Every structure is written in structure tokens, then in C-alpha cells.
Amino acid sequence: MGGYVRCVRALEPGHLYSYIDESGDTGFGAYKSSVTFTLGCLVVNSSRWAEVLDEYIAFRRRLKLKFGLPVRAEIKANYLLRGSGSLKELKLSPGERHLIFRGHVKFVAENPHLHVFAVVASKTGRITGVDLFRQTWVRVLQRLQRTSESLGSTTVQLIHDDGENDEIRKLARWARRQLSAGSRFGAGALSTPFTQLVEDPMPRDSQASFFIQISDLVAYAAYRRLNPGLAKTEQIVPSRTWDLFGEALLARVVAAKPGEPRAIVRLQA
């Protein structure tokens, strides 16, 4: 599938589309509850959107030739881990599923118009349910606001996987008026309303959005960077996969210490 290209890139000013998907759930202690709740974000300038889409479709056509994967088949981390969903009938080996996941990371890493970051909430039981959902989303909104501000108040449009639509819409409307830096809901912190956030967030069925599907893989790679899996999982998504996003990592969203992964915002919940 080729090597990874590390190129210096800058996020261009202009209207930004931010695609967001989650990995894990907001529960705690219940059977099969996830270790974290993670939001993955893929950012692309609207002026480059059609160009990137065409390049991704060409990439999917190459996957079809190599693995028999239909161009319009939905790709999700869970499908690649288990060989389920749209991949079930293909009976792909773990090694082949690894190549498909890594190929997506490579696509993002090599495309100068794509940028990614994630918020990973490690669950302790202190915050659960809707409060955990809100706090994780607020951190995404804060980082997008800072990114927009650094680019001269570039406008931002949120596009997210269908689900919890009312709650996300409420958070976005709140952020436009009352977002603050470093605070849950504005108390005792610097007020930084996200005025550059335009329109209500747009929910999309992940099956109909290639970029939502990529953000799902972004979220899972971030989760695994902080929580390595067992040998079977590592075979498909090694814990260092996140680092292979290279210069696509939107490092400005968090000041990472030496040795820490870039572009992952951590929340102890």
C-alpha cells in the first residue's frame, strides 16, 4: 500500500467542514461498557472538499481491486476488527483488514488537505451519561473554536454521525453564545463564544458519508493509542497507528509533552 509521507502542512483559512464520530459509550460499570468515550474529528477546507472526495473514491476503487471491497460499502472500525457488517461476505483475513485500516490512515497522512484530532474521555465513573457526552463534545467545540480563531475567524460547519441530534444541536447553539476556555459550561473562565460556528450541526447517516466513516477510524485509532488492545486487536489496529497520521495531526489543539501522542485531548471522567 506504499509508505507514509511526512510533509509539513498548514490548515488553510476558509470555511471548514468538521466531521465527527464517536467510539465507545457514555456508561460505566455495566456489562460491555467501554473503557473510554472518544470523539474523532476530521477537518477539511470546503474549497478542497470535492478534490479530496474524488481522491478518496479513487482510493476506494483501488481497495475494490485489491480486496473486492465495494466502493460504496460502509467502513467502520468494528467491521474491520470483526470482519462483520459490509465485510462479512468478503471473509477477509485479519492481515487484509489491517491493510484496509492502515490504508485509510495512509490516505489521510498523505493528503495535504486533511487534518485530524480526537478527544478521549477515560472513564472512572465520576462522570457518566449525558454529562460525559456534553463534556467530551465541549472539548471538541473548544478546540475547533481556537483553530478557527487562529486562522482569522474561519467559519466552521459541524457534520456528525446521526444520533443524539437534539443534544448536539443544543450544545452547538450554547457554544455559539456561551462557550468558554477551560470550563465545563462557562463558569469562572474566559468567555470565548464560538461565533464562527455556522448553522446547526448536520447529522449524516455514516453509511452515506465517506468522511464520517473516516472519522470513526480516527476515533478508534485515538482510543487504541492510549489503550492498547490484546494481540488479536493489535494485529489489525496496532496501538501506534495513531502516530502514522503524521502531519495530518492537528497538533495545535493540545500541548503534548515529549513522548505523548499529538492531537489527542484527554479527559479524566
Q: What digits encode the pLDDT tens for the residues 9-63?
A: 677 778 999 999 999 999 998 777 899 999 999 999 999 999 999 999 999 999 9
- Taking each helix axis from N to C end, the angle separating 94-110 and 49-67, rounded to the nearest 10 degrees, works out to 160
Cell of 87: 465485510
227 has a pLDDT exceeding 90: yes
Q: What percentage of residues in the chain have a pLDDT greater than 90?
A: 83
Domain range annotation of the chain: 16-268
Which residue has cell 477551560? 182
Residue 181: CB partners within 8 Å, gap ≥ 6? 142, 146, 189, 190, 192
- Over range 210-216, report the average pLDDT: 98
Tell me, what amino acid is at 184?
Answer: R
Other beta carbons less than 10 A from residue 139's beta carbon: 22
Say what the pLDDT of residue 182 is. Answer: 62
d(CA 43, CA 70): 25
Q: What digits encode the pLDDT tens for the residues 143-194?
A: 999 999 888 889 999 999 999 999 999 999 999 999 998 644 444 468 899 9
Q: What digits encode the pLDDT tens for the residues 73-112?
A: 999 999 999 999 999 999 999 999 999 999 999 999 999 9
d(CA 157, CA 153): 13
Could you tell me the pTM of the whole model? Answer: 0.93
Question: Exposed (0-12), middle (13-18) or buried (19+): which is 90, by Cβ within 10 Å?
Answer: middle
Q: Which of 230, 206, 235, 220 is CA-nearest to residue 97?
A: 235
